[in-house]
Amino acid sequence: MYMGRIVFSQLIDFFPKKQFDRCVRQYRGNHRIKTFSCFDQYLCMAFAQITYRQSLRDIETCLRAMQPKLYHCGIRGSVSRTTLAKANENRDWRIYADFAQVLINRACELYADEEFGVQLKRTVYALDSTTIDLCLSLFPWAKFRKHKAAVKVHTLMDLKGSIPTFIRITDGKVHDVNILDELILEPGAIYIMDRGYLDFARLYTFTQNLSTFVTRTKSNFDYRRLYYRKVDKTTGLRCDQTIRLNGFYASQDYPAVLRRIGYLDIETNKRFVFLTNNFALPALTIAQLYKCRWRIEIFFKWIKQYLRIKTFYGTTKNAVKTQIWIAISVYVLVAIVKKELEIELSLGEILQILSIVLFEKVPITQVLMKAMSQNKNFQLHNQLLLFNL
């Protein structure tokens, strides 16, 4: 019989405690705190994310039921919903944002050689945002519409491993294109965006910083063609042109030439027109790169399905940002566990398994490997095999 540590405690082994303490000291998170530290707060909120707790009372009830095991997983303070609510409301959310960035840097190193569908040595990012609807009477600071509140999670994701590298949490009124002003552009990197980010003055900064952007044009796009290149229409390509902007203000905002690529998706019979400042990559590669943008949509769906970010335990801006950043850090922590233990299960499957064995005394590798082998060996013996007939 295994008499070692519980799974939650083993999960914390992947947790860089020294870097966390450094983030806490930077923002004086434990100043005048005696009984419920920032680390206790993080572990309680991480438990809520992994097990999908519904409320602060739910967190308190479940953790108190496991009181004898809390010390062994690192929770030293007494857990109560009032204490946790005050911690979420008052302790600086930047502690958890900076710590999530530490985990992100570690995950990016682990997934540096991961494939995402297009064979390129350059770093490829996808930029997008997701909106989380809120109640205006409870979240009056989250301005969105006249009778509706919301927050936006603006995310820049590294397609290698689907790791978010840049996140900004704003109210719903902030337009997506404004986030381009906050990006620190990486020379040589490729940034994939939808047409909501089509602002020529901001896109010109990509060219000035030797970065590549790939986006889509709008229906009223005004341009003149300078050159064209022959394309193989059997691949779905329809045109590959060098263009210059026609509008007075647009031509001033972006004085250089651009590349316009037309593409027909044969499977869906939809036409796409891409715009980029890259003239070196093949036109079909540009189309394939934009197709990889769906990974960030999957990421948003994943965190909304498996993590607790659609409803919140507190109503203040600090509490909301704290909960979202801890949710992001849990996502990245699970990605690190998956890579370091070489687990073939998906992140969703790993999180579901952890949610039911978190306080069990079983080796974390054993429970994940066993689930992985069971998935491989599972067969419906009463189901005829198509290719064995």
Give mean pLDDT, residues 80-92: 94
Judged on CB neighbours under 10 Å (0-12, 13-18, 19+), 54 is: exposed
Give the separation between CA 359 and CA 148, rounded to whole angstroms. 40
Residue whose token pair is 């934009």? 290
Q: Point out the least confidently predicted range of 18-32, 47-61, 367-381.
A: 367-381
What's the whole-number mean pLDDT along residues 146-161?
93
Using one digit for the tens of pLDDT, what is the confidence trace for 324-354? 999 999 999 999 999 999 998 999 999 999 9
pLDDT range class, residue 146, cuts 50, 70, 90 = confident
Cβ neighbourhood burial of 138 (10 Å; 0-12, 13-18, 19+):
exposed
- Report pTM: 0.90
pLDDT at 182 over 80: yes
The domains of the chain are located at 7-95+326-377
